[in-house]
Amino acid sequence: GAVVSQHPSRVICKSGTSVKIECRSLDFQATTMFWYRQFPKQSLMLMATSNEGSKATYEQGVEKDKFLINHASLTLSTLTVTSAHPEDSSFYICSARWLDRGPDTQYFGPGTRLTVL
């Protein structure tokens, strides 16, 4: 149980294009999902909290117009990096909170490697 998937696992795009990353909880319903960014040899940095049916809450310094988050259902959240630039190249990881099973914690997806040329 507690499987979270991400798609795609790897994406390479040209500067100026938009990229959508999907995060799915496969065997449980997640009212809350989190989006992280991780640069090489660094810890995870929380970008935003995504709640089903409502607007995402962004951390300080994260541009909400650049990183669009949609949590349309209890099993799917998407992150769209708009007008991507090389500095957006990073490892993006989502996690989902499973309320019905103890402990109350978050389960992570496998991550998406974004490379912007």
Partner 1 sequence: LAKTTQPISMDSYEGQEVNITCSHNNIATNDYITWYQQFPSQGPRFIIQGYKTKVTNEVASLFIPADRKSSTLSLPRVSLSDTAVYYCLVGDIRINKFYFGSGTKLNVKP
The footprint of partner 1 (CB under 8 A) covers 2, 4, 6, 32, 34, 42-46, 49, 57, 91, 93, 95, 97, 103-111, 113
Least distance (Å) between residue 113 CB and partner 1: 7
- Cβ nearer to partner 1, comparing 35 with 84: 35
Least distance (Å) between residue 33 CB and partner 1: 11
- Cβ nearer to partner 1, comparing 12 with 46: 46
- Cβ nearer to partner 1, comparing 26 with 83: 26
Least distance (Å) between residue 35 CB and partner 1: 12
Spatial neighbors of 7 by CB under 8 A, at least 6 apart, are: 21, 22, 24, 112
